Amino acid sequence: MPFYVRSQLVVSRVIAGETLIIPVRKGVGDLASIYSLNPVASSIWQALQQPIRKEEIVSAVEREFAGEREQVELDVNNFLDEMHSAGLVEPVEERVHGVPA
């Protein structure tokens, strides 16, 4: 089962409580592609600082926000799929420093 982590080709900042993600291409931020995250997506993004399994993200979101597990799983899956398609999140097979999954 893969781990997920933020791409190294993005910069993110929390400004006035809002998480903003900016893809960086050729050393310049692509200002046409700034992503603004809602609180649930921001929580998922924070979890992606280090490689993490999808199930761990679901559990973290479930602890932080009210909601049924099925809906949380759907939201996490949708977020990861969208962010992966945009090149903002990458699946990896191992945790940092070569510790096997």
pTM of the complete model: 0.82
> Which residues of the chain register pLDDT less than 70?
25-32, 94-101
Domain that holds residue 17: 3-98
Q: How many CA atoms lie within 13 A of 72 on its CB side?
A: 19
Indicate the number of domains in the chain. Answer: 1
Residue whose entry in the numeric block shows the structure tokens 């070569």? 98
> How many angstroms from the chain centroid is the CA of residue 26?
22
For residue 5, what pLDDT is reported? 96
Query: CATH number for the domain including 74?
Result: 3.90.930
**pLDDT tens for residues 47-75?**
999 999 999 999 999 999 988 999 999 99
